Structure 1
Amino acid sequence: MDVKTLLTQNEEKMDKTIEALKRDLASIRTGRASTTLLDRISVDYYGTPTPVKQVANVSAPEPRLITIVPWERKMLGDIERAILKSDLGLNPNNDGTMIRLEIPQLTEERRKELSKKVSKDAEDSKVVIRNIRRDANDAIKKMEKKKEITEDDSKEAQENIQKLTDKKIKLIDEIKAKKEKEVMEV
């Protein structure tokens, strides 16, 4: 494997880590309704765990309301149970044709808890990014030891990995700041 391939592979790993962080943060509840809250909730659909969005039409017609209209009426109870079992802390209102989820105003204490969770998720992602950097640097040093690359190439590759790491960590900080602002917004 050459250095360029190594750098490309590690950048892809870092990008996947950031995408995972974005997905995780999207499911954290803020003061306004967002259909992404339901991304992690699955229901049993003919024996297969299936995301709610694949068995129902999910929309946010108002800033504090999410509506769920299943394509099959018999799914109403399953969806309602899945929401109650989830960690969202929402009470579904089932009227026989659709489920309404009213998003209550977050308390100051809950906002702070959510903000801490955002920080923790972001920090976990940074750790993953740093581990990717460490593994890449180890691979570069092994290549240098085996005389596959020169010492100068090794130093340059390690500098490039560090620049990439710094760039991705800065991006994580920006994502975190944006989500914390969203969570703390009244």
Structure 2
Amino acid sequence: MSDIIKDTKARMKKSIDSLSRELANISAGRANSNLLNGVTVDYYGAPTPIQQLASINVPEARLLVISPYDKGSVEDIEKAINAANLGVNPTSDGEVIRITVPALTEERRKELFKEVKKIGENAKVSVRNIRRDVNDTLKKQEKDGELTEDDLKTQTDNVQKATDDSIKEIDQLVDDKEEDIMSV
């Protein structure tokens, strides 16, 4: 029986991990190497993540420096960053690529704030869907005689507690990101 709860918690944890990755990709006006997550470069015909082609450093709060391992790929990396539409403008001296992350305007902060709220709400919906699926499974097991009514109540309560804990963690992640965005 506890296998169902373990599975439920694992599925909810995956939703939270996904939320963390999405929030990490949202720039809060500071340089962060996570900004380039998801950017792939056409490297000799194969889409390759930028992290595999170059080292990414953050020497200043608003500056990213990308040092390609293969100097011949500088142009390709620059094109990929432009194509990713990240709202930044890479500049190159032929050896390294520099990206200056612009300071966020108040309007852009509010847009990001709304986007973070939306992403957080989607994560909550995902967790609630998991709860619904598990509760349906438990009800079916009770109906089939695999669970007693008391066991059903206990398991349903355990699922609700896991849901509440996950929602609380999602709210905390969203609040932290909002604070990060709104701090000037």
**SS at the partner of 1:44?**
strand
Q: Deviations over 1:63-95 (max 9, x none)?
A: 110000111112111111111111311000111
Q: Aligned partners of 1:101 and 1:90: how far apart in 2?
A: 7
2:110 to 99, 109, 112: 112
Q: Aligned partners of 1:87 and 1:168: how far apart in 2?
A: 32
**SS at the partner of 1:96?**
coil
**Counterpart code for 1:152:** D
**Counterpart code for 1:126:** K
Following superposition, the deviation at residue 47 of structure 1 comes to: 2.5
Unaligned runs of 5+ in 2: none
Equivalent residues of 1:29, 1:88 under 8 A apart: no
**Counterpart code for 1:30:** A
Q: Aligned partners of 2:113 and 2:74: how far apart in 1?
A: 32
Following superposition, the deviation at residue 107 of structure 1 comes to: 0.4
Q: Aligned partners of 1:33 and 1:136: how far apart in 2?
A: 41
**Aligned counterpart, 2:13:** 15
**Aligned counterpart, 2:44:** 46
Q: Deviations over 1:118-149 (max 9, x none)?
A: 00000000000000000000000011011011
RMSD: 0.8
Equivalent residues of 1:31, 1:185 under 8 A apart: no
Following superposition, the deviation at residue 39 of structure 1 comes to: 0.9
Q: Aligned partners of 2:88 and 2:107: how far apart in 1?
A: 17
1:103 to 91, 101, 104: 101
**SS at the partner of 1:50?**
strand
Q: TM-score with structure 1 length normalisation?
A: 0.97
**Counterpart code for 1:86:** A
Poorly superposed stretches of 4+, deviation over 6 Å:
none
Q: TM-score with structure 2 length normalisation?
A: 0.98
Q: Aligned partners of 2:85 and 2:16: how far apart in 1?
A: 23
Percent identity (aligned)? 48
Unaligned runs of 5+ in 1: none
Q: Deviations over 1:38-68 (max 9, x none)?
A: 1111112232222111110001011110000
**Counterpart code for 2:69:** W
Q: Aligned partners of 2:76 and 2:59: how far apart in 1?
A: 22
Q: Aligned partners of 1:78 and 1:132: how far apart in 2?
A: 42
